[in-house]
Structure 1
Amino acid sequence: MHDNPTPPEAMTYREGAYVIDTRSGRLAQVMGTMGPRVQVRRPGGGREWEVSPQALRLATREERAAAEGCAECVSLRALQRAAVDGGEKCRAVEATVAVRRHVREVHA
């Protein structure tokens, strides 16, 4: 029997996942990790901020749907996710730029 149990592992999130920063209630997308911290950004762009994984939770389907926008947003983000999941860095960057351009030009 152990006197000092190991704390549970923090949840890990893949790049592009929608999460909620429970400290502020803000919806964000995971951009990457820096050491023990997770870097997140508002969907569609903006300034990144760092959060401990313990302060994040996955966004619900309803929270994601509210952020996804129009059909073109959904399509562009699906292409982005496929490129990221496939490890195609150049395509992932191009898809990310396309998503941000669309959000800026159509939903600004």
Structure 2
Amino acid sequence: MTTKSEPLEPGSLLFDPATSKVGEYQAKAGPYAMLRPVGGGREWQADPASLRPATLRERLSAEVGATNRHTRAAGACVPPDPEDLSRPPRPVPGCRACLALAEQRDSAQASYDRSAETDANVLLRQHQRREHRA
């Protein structure tokens, strides 16, 4: 529970036992603390004396919930961008050249040869641009 010696800091994550929710402290409004759901949303009033810092588990749960809500709202069924270089390219089903390059990459990964793994990814992307560009 918070006390007068522990001032509430804007942005701190607090657990409200009255609602069993984690909220981000916004400000004080009269006798109440104003909390906003993690990730945004409608604020609610809480009794400052009953609030306590959220545990790591409660924080993670609230953050994962917020991420899931945003993902669903944005349309999670969108396929990954083939030009996204942060992900390894996927072989096109039924293409022997793609499969051979993917196997080459897997072999390099298994032997911890990051240079050969990167080379295989580059070759696979080049092949896909040449042969499979729609």
TM bucket normalised to smaller: 0.5 to 0.7
| SS of match in other structure, 2:8 | coil
**C-alpha contact 1:11 1:54 (8 A) present in aligned 2:** no
- Determine which structure has the larger strand proportion and give its number: 1
Correspondence for 2:51 among 52, 56, 66: 56
Q: Which has the higher contact order (CA 8 A, sep 6+)?
A: 1
Q: Deviations over 1:11-70 (max 9, x none)?
A: 43211111111112111111111233210011112211111211211100111122223x
Instruction: Name 1:68's counterpart in structure 2.
Output: 63
**C-alpha contact 1:20 1:59 (8 A) present in aligned 2:** yes
> Which is greater in Rg?
2
Instruction: Name 1:44's counterpart in structure 2.
Output: 39
Cα separation, partners in 2 of 1:66 and 1:105, compared to 1, 3 Å: closer
Instruction: Name 1:29's counterpart in structure 2.
Output: 24
**C-alpha contact 1:11 1:53 (8 A) present in aligned 2:** no
Instruction: Confirm or deny that 1:9 pairs with 2:8.
Output: no
TM-score scaled by length of structure 2: 0.43
2 CA distance for matches of 1:34 and 1:103? 30
Percent identical pairs in the alignment equals 31
2 CA distance for matches of 1:28 and 1:35? 18
TM-score scaled by length of structure 1: 0.52
Moved over 3 A (4+): 102-105
Provide structure 2 residue ranges, at least 5 long, that are not aligned to the other structure: 74-134
How many aligned residue pairs are there?
71
